[in-house]
Structure 1
Amino acid sequence: MAEAHQAVAFQFTITPEGIDLQLSHQALNQIFLSGVRSWKKRVSRMRNRVIKGVYPASPSSWLFVVIAILATMYMRSDPSMGLIKMIQQHLPLSTQGQTMLSALVFSTLLWLSLILALRFCLKLLLSYHQWMFEQHGRVSNTTKVWVTLLRLLSSRKPLLYSYQTSLPHLPVPPIKDTVSRYLTSARPLLTDPEFERMTKLAGQFEANLGNRLQRYLRLKALWATNYVSDWWEEYIYLRGRGPIMVNSNYYGMDFLYVTPTPVQAARAGNTITALLLYRRKVNREELKPVRVPGTVIPLCAAQCERMFNTTRTPGVETDVLQHWQDSEFVAVYHRGRFFRLWVYLAGRLLSPRELEHQIQRILDDPSPPQPGEEKLGALTAGERVPWFQMRERHFSSGINKRSLDCIERAAFFVTLDDEEQGMRGEDPAGNLDRYAKSLLHGKCYDRWFDKSFSIVIYKNGKSGLNAEHSWADAPTVAHLWEYTLATDAFQLGYTEDGHCKGDVDRSLPPPQRLAWDIPSEVQAQASSSLVVAQALADDVDCHVFPFRDFGKGRIKKLRVSPDAFIQIGLQLAYFRDRGGFCLTYEASMTRLFREGRTETVRSCSNESSAFVRALETKEVHLDQCRHLFRLASERHQNLYRMAMTGAGIDRHLFCLYVVSKYLGVDSPFLKEVLSEPWRLSTSQTPVQQMELFDLKNHPDFISLGGGFGPVADDGYGVSYIIVGEDMINFHVSSKHSCSETDSHRFGVQISKALQDIMNLLADPKSQTTSKCQQAQPQSKKQL
């Protein structure tokens, strides 16, 4: 191929006169500069290891300690209390050399001891979580002292991973507390006889098998960095043998109202550049550690490590996550063809305009797909075992292995979609729904679902992403996507005619077509996987809608947590939609702890169900309804705080179940608890970098957030993002095959539930009716 010859640094020919050696100085220069870039990265990593290794101290503090020790020795004082003399006796040097070297050795040991002491103190401070349970405006003296000490120890500018070794380990809750909390959470979902039976099962488990399993779990917690995360990654994600498309992967959307440019290649150029700039910040650890909003408390950053150059490879019993240290190219898919696009030239990152030029070359390439190439990606969308079998038989050597390596080792995957998406035309609501479905599954073969994330650039310049779930949770990907959107729109920008800024070197070698030799067996399996994936995709009912009647600004004026307000609204909406309550999942982070991921907040509580019943019975006074709502809100906030601080229910029970399987014992209690379906699975997409978006001067640059597929066949998946002060965007999913669910119907119920709760709480003095149900929704103008 022509592209291959451009990468050859030298050629030689054997002639009768000898060997004719021909060197390509340009190629050798590029190899040299690429090596320089590689060594710069290694030096940077070594430097960062030293800086974060001594945090919260600094490397320069070593010199201060040495000077201080030498100064005291010069004043005829021995700060080591005899240790320096002991060190001198073991040094084969002159007396003066012994004194100097022994002082340096002692100073270094003292410095390291101080670092360990500071790190231990920081870890103790970060283990304090009582601040989270204190009422706003009523901070205890203990918390005030704690904040002061934490600020002192965190005064140095940290790197991305500086806090990792100082974060506390996730504690194992007492089994008595977990069982008690579970029974409390299950009460509103069970009848009296069912609750009595479950109470007996729980009591038997706690008294017998539970304590035995708990001992093994505590043993694991002593040596493991996090007693949950490795099992959670393996058993919840990697061991799933069904399709990861829809069932596991999730999506993120572009701006709601704005498309920065209608030029597909230009949008791709800026987006790829922004993503690579973010990768550079991650590699150099220049990103600020993510903190709890409004505090100095850091969150675990371990999930950032596998963000780029990562793929999920299939196996028989379990998949494996593979991560490479670096990658200088991205994989691109367009109209059934795969390309390798080099993003570095001679050690430098290509400019956005140069990347646009390269992408346009791909768009203009008229070559057809090779046999079997177009729908090859369907293998990643179907069942995992057939994909593993095809990979082992036909992609383990030769040309297919080289091309597959290009995809799997790429920094990320890019799809240049030939469709147009977004909120446009005469049917904006329907177009948003189609936009969500496109990002969630596409055509089921034009995304590489195994990659850590895939970027989708549509024909009209709209963009989005599809992310694999096993390596990280949505907040980590959301942080990346926020940076990408903001950098694309506000930092890199576009010319007046919609192209990327800057100049282009038109002598750049073109992107490389990946070559394949796909046998009929692989083509047949790709078709079979596509049938499975297409059936799954067609069954998904997606509904995306912006709720504009009010947002967190008005909710906060009522002194109510916006998340609690929305979650109680979802309970009311579900009750009206299905006539009862269900086990509800809300994702909460546990990143206050090292390698923490998520915990479950069981949002359907006794308090929330009491409020919903009171509102719907038409027999409870308005003041009592408001009181019940306040109780439900406070209960939800408390459940969320407990989940964040390691006192959740579900991860502990999950780990106990894993231990029971290792021991080969059955627990009727654990088996029943873990088989309960989550018919309402919810998650809030947090906005973590509001400083990147100037909504005052650019109010149209509003994020749509993202969503995911339903967890239960007869349930709903609900994702929401609170944008600014006056909008909440919702993503609702369900399955067409279930006659009892309808995403659009549930979306209407969500909007009405939020309006009814606001009407109830907004102005109690103006309410003249005596029954909760008589409160009618106010108009949009009033809201």
Structure 2
Amino acid sequence: MAEAHQAVGFLPSLASDGEEVELSAPVWQEIYLSGLRSWKRHLLRFWNDFLTGVLPASPLSWLFLFSAIQLAWFLQLDPSLGLMEKIKELLPDWGGQHHGLRGVLAAALFASCLWGALIFTLHLALRLLLSYHGWLLEPHGAMSSPTKTWLALVRIFSGRHPMLFSYQRSLPRQPVPSVQDTVRKYLDSVRPILSDEDFNWTAVLAEEFLRLQASLLQGYLRLKSWWASNYVSDWWEEFVYLRSRNSLMVNSNYYMMAARAGNAVHALLLYRHRLNRQEIPPTLLMGTRPLCSAQYEKIFNTTRVPGVQKDYIRHLHDSRHVAVLHRGRFFRVGTHSRNGLLSPRALEQQFQRILDDPSPACPHEEHLAALTAAPRDMWAQVRRSLKTQAAEALETVEGAAFFVSLDSEPAGLPKEDPAASLDAYAHALLAGQGHDRWFDKSFTLIVFSDGKLGLSVEHSWADCPISGHMWEFTLATECFQLGYLADGHCKGHPDPMLPEPQRLQWDLPEHIHPSISLALRGAKTLSENIDCHILPFSHFGKSFIKRCHLSSDSFIQMALQLAHFRDPQCLALFRVAVDKHQALLKTAMSGQGVDRHLFALYIVSRFLHLQSPFLAQVHAEQWLLSTSQVPVQQAHLFDVHNHPDYVSSGGGFGPADDHGYGVSYIFLGNDMITFHISSKKSSTKTDSRRLGRHIEDALLDIASLFQEGHHLKRQFRGLGEEVSGHRCGFVCSQTGDSETPTTSTDF
């Protein structure tokens, strides 16, 4: 999604003032530092696991093992085969009067060693099991006997109640794909969009790369993969995100939407409490295969701090306040009292005090947040002055659990023109007015004057499924657990003893005033140029696609390609395209994708100062169609069919190219799909609403190819319209038009 734009700007991000910035550090040093960061995370997580008891075997299992050994010893049995006697000999004598204590200590030490060995064996077995990817290659809906056996073994070795980070030390390392396979897959993906001449030239460059440079670059990646837990993730974070000097607004931040507001802050803090206690279950594919949970660590108390050449992520262990912006004024609102987390009614009381505060914003304070939407090097320089002149206020904002923007404008869904209102709603969440969001924070909770709310999320710390998981919990909790009184207030009673929210004081030096004005003009220009459109597609949804025996995600991806290109094709080719997309998806899920591998090879070449025309061409490509699905991960929280008004409408992001589209979609229940479409108004080649109409046509065209979908076009497009599907077309790979490729990216 938003990372598509950052990846497109990857090459410019390595340049400053028009000159290439050389990566002068030795590649050995970079690999060494990557490993240190990886092992540091492992050690911190191990200590946290030890403190919270998050292990495949709980601390109670140690007590059970120790008791069993003591019982055997009492029955004059020696399960240690003489080892405990040797341990007793090594313990201090203490004058011979504590002979029984020495026996207990020996048993405890032996039990601890045996317990640790069992846990290590369990970890090793689970890691070997999770390295199996054969289940990904099986036909949709089918499961072989080896896969069934694998599923059973994973369940056995996973324990009964795994917590959020239980699997982290058992997850296999990210594999480094074969460089020959990666180049072959890349050539396959670009073949449909290149002329014969261009493709032959690309193939020549690829062959030259394989012959001269590939083995050297691949060797460094393999070394890094053994030393660090992931050969690409830290470089992806640094070079795609943190080194980007572009504005975070639209380019990196994305938005999430909802239909209700109220107890959201309390619900978010409840989620943080569960997160800190690791009470959130890990995400499991097929209910068994765990996904990495590392990105959950930085949801809260996190800020992306600007730097002159690259940013860095600052994450605090805890924070007991939120930063609030209303009518250009900043406030600190504490989230806890001596009795713990503030109640929803107490938080409501604090926000109402801010809304009732008549004091005006100080000069230039109203537009101060526009600096977070400015180019990163400019914001980094201004921030140095703020850190000197307004250190306390800056620390309050950057050290907050998250940022809250109380907008003075409504964002409702009036009956007169609900479509236009939804589009305006999306635009307000993605860009706002350019000065009413603190884009550096991990996320900003936006509450409109009519009670509607949404999220603006900074992308570098995690992908969308992480923030989406939090948002699903927030909506379900505030609606179905916290609730409201009959008069509309949060449940509970105000607390008259609570101190007033603290108004932040910014001592803004005069020399930064022009920078604030310049940042505001740039943010407004960027905001006014983004064209957002939301398409609620209710003609059919997941259930219809499943009846066609197709992957729902692949079905939508092909429909998006059709909407973008409108080539005439047929059902047979459509099934080929769906199968190809599903195969590519499974390949990427098993760590054998193309783009991350080529990216890492390019980074190594830059460290070694090797010029590779092939890798340079790969990373110079543009993406005209950037797409992503927002997953619904916690359907068990409430009944979607009986409470459709409580469902999040998903979220969206900006286009990856000046003449391209950004398209996000979410399956709402079984009979609804919502699309979020963005483009730039400055482009003469794109129009978000036009693409929305094409997406609707494409979905109905494809549906009409199947027997169950013959009636859909007649029903929604009129009986006179041709339903034979002769207009149906698509591209049978992750590709684009005749000039530039497109890509499908994950949030």
TM-score normalized by structure 2? 0.87
Corresponding residue to 2:122 among 112, 118, 123:
118
The alpha-carbon distance between structure 1 residues 396 and 775, as it changes in their structure 2 partners (threshold 3 A), is closer
Offset at residue 75 of structure 1 (A) = 4.7
> Given the alignment of the two structures, is residue 631 of structure 1 paired with residue 576 of structure 2, yes or no?
yes
Pair 1:656 & 2:656 matched? no
Structure 1 residue aligned with 2:15: none
Number of the residue aligned with 2:283: 290
> Could you list the per-position Cα deviations for residues 151-208 of structure 1 after superposition, in whole angstroms to 9, with x for gaps in the alignment?
1122321221111111111100011111111111111111111111111111111122
Q: Summarize the alignment of residues 122-201 of structure 1 with structure 2, pairs less than 5 Å apart.
A: 122-201=126-205
1:681 matched residue in structure 2: 626
- Give per-residue Cα distances to partners, 1:681-714, cap 9 Å, x unaligned: 0000000011112123223323211000001111
State whether structure 2 residue 338 is matched by structure 1 residue 353: no
Q: 1:160–1:287: 8 Å Cα contact kept in structure 2?
A: yes
Whole-angstrom distance in 1 between the partners of 2:454 and 2:498: 28
Q: Secondary structure at the match of 1:700?
A: helix
| 1-structure distance, mates of 2:54, 2:348 | 43
The residue correspondences of 1:202-281 to structure 2 (distance < 5 A) are 202-255=206-259, 259=260, 267=262, 270-281=263-274
For 1:541, give the aligned amino acid. Answer: D
**Contact 2:539–2:672 (CA<8 Å) still a contact in 1?**
yes
- The Cα shift of 1:423 comes to 2.3
Alignment correspondent of 1:319: 311
Matches of 2:678 and 2:503, distance apart in 1: 37
Letter in 2 for 1:516: W
CA distance in structure 2 between the partners assigned to 1:251 and 1:389 by the alignment: 27
1:477 to 467, 472, 487: 467
3-state SS of the aligned residue for 1:395? Answer: helix
CA distance in 2, matches of 1:302, 1:719: 24
**Counterpart mapping for 1:376-775 below 5 A:** 376-392=368-384, 394-398=385-389, 400-576=390-566, 612-613=567-568, 615=569, 625-763=570-708, 772-773=725-726
Residue 457 (structure 1) shift: 0.4
Asked if 1 retains the 8 angstrom alpha-carbon contact of 2:702 and 2:725, the reply is no
Aligned residue type for 1:547: F
Aligned pair count? 673
Question: For residue 342 of structure 1, what is the aligned residue in structure 2?
Answer: 334
- Code of the residue aligned with 1:500 in structure 2: it is C
Classify 1:635/1:90 alpha carbon distance in 2 versus 1 (closer, same or farther; 3 Å). same
Is residue 703–residue 709 contact of structure 2 (8 Å, CA) maintained in 1?
no
1:62 to 2:62 alignment: yes
Structure 2 letter corresponding to 1:671 = A
- 2:119 maps to amino acid: I
Q: Secondary structure at the match of 1:138?
A: coil
Q: State how far apart, in whole Å, the 2-side matches of 1:472 and 1:193 are.
A: 40
Q: Does the aligned pair in 2 maintain the 1:736–1:742 contact within 8 Å?
A: yes
Asked if 1 retains the 8 angstrom alpha-carbon contact of 2:542 and 2:552, the reply is: yes
Q: Which amino acid aligns with 1:208?
A: L
Compared CA separation, residues 51 and 119, structure 1 to 2 (3 A): farther
**Which residue identity is paired with 1:481?**
W
Partners of 1:721 and 1:449 lie apart in 2 by 24
Q: State the secondary structure of the residue aligned to 1:648.
A: coil
- Between the aligned partners of 2:525 and 2:301, the Cα distance in structure 1 is 30
Give CA deviations for 1:357-396 in whole Å, capped at 9, x if unaligned.
111110010001112210000100111111111111x222
Offset of 1:60 from its aligned partner? Answer: 1.4
Letter in 2 for 1:691: H
Whole-angstrom distance in 2 between the partners of 1:278 and 1:526: 35
Q: How far is the alpha carbon of 1:762 from its aligned partner?
A: 3.1
Counterparts in 2 of 1:92 and 1:694: CA distance versus 1, 3 Å: same
Contact 2:173 2:230 in 1 (8 A): yes
Query: How far apart, CA to CA, are the structure 1 residues paired with 2:580 and 2:355?
Result: 54
User: Is 1:80 matched with 2:98?
Assistant: no
Q: For the residues of structure 1 that align with 2:505 and 2:362, how far apart are their CA atoms?
A: 8
Tell me: CA distance 1:129–1:51, structure 2 relative to 1, closer, same or farther (3 Å).
farther
State the distance in 2 between where 1:395 and 1:769 align. 64
Structure 2 portions without partners, runs of 5+: 1-44, 715-720, 730-747
Q: Name the aligned partner's letter for residue 326 of structure 1.
A: D
CA distance in 2 between counterparts of 1:209 and 1:47 reads 42
Equivalent position amino acid for 1:149 in 2: L
Give the aligned residue type for 1:254: A
Tell me how far apart the structure 2 counterparts of residues 549 and 276 of structure 1 sit (CA, whole Å): 38
For structure 1, the residue ranges without an aligned partner over 5 or more in a row are: 1-44, 261-266, 577-611, 616-624, 777-783
- Report if the CA contact (8 A) 1:52-1:158 is conserved: no
Give, in whole Å, the separation in 1 of the partners of 2:684 and 2:426. 22
- The one-letter code matched in structure 1 to 2:573 is L
2:330 aligns to what SS in structure 1? strand
Structure index of larger Rg: 1
- TM normalised by structure 1 equals 0.83
Residues 224-251 of structure 1 deviation map (CA, whole Å, 9 limit, x = unaligned): 1111110111100010011011001000
Does the CA contact (< 8 Å) of 2:326 and 2:406 recur in 1?
Answer: yes
Distance 1:326 1:195 in 2: 53
How far apart, CA to CA, are the structure 2 residues paired with 1:364 and 1:100? 66
Q: Provide the rounded CA distance (Å) in 1 between the counterparts of 2:503 and 2:722.
A: 71
1:503 aligned counterpart, secondary structure: coil
**TM-superposed deviation, 1:252:** 0.5
CA distance, structure 2, for counterparts of residue 110 and residue 356 of structure 1? 53
Residue pair 2:387, 2:394 contacting (<8 A) in 1 also? no
Kept in 2, the 8 Å contact 1:544–1:732? The answer is: yes
3-state DSSP of counterpart to 2:59: coil
> Matches of 2:673 and 2:344 in 1, distance apart?
33
Asked whether the 8 Å contact 2:475–2:646 carries over to 1, the reply is no
Identity %: 52
Q: Offset of 1:764 from its aligned partner? A: 8.8
- Over residues 595-639 of structure 1, what are the superposed CA-to-partner deviations in whole Å (9 max), with x where a residue is unaligned? xxxxxxxxxxxxxxxxx54x2xxxxxxxxx222221211111111
> Structure 1: how far apart are the matches of 2:516 and 2:284?
44
Amino acid at match of 2:154: L
- Report the counterpart of residue 621 of structure 1 in structure 2: none
Greater relative contact order (Cα < 8 A, sep 6+) = 2
Aligned amino acid, residue 334 of structure 1: H
Determine the C-alpha separation between the residues in 2 that align with 1:380 and 1:402: 18
Task: Please state how far the C-alpha of 1:46 moved relative to its aligned partner.
Answer: 10
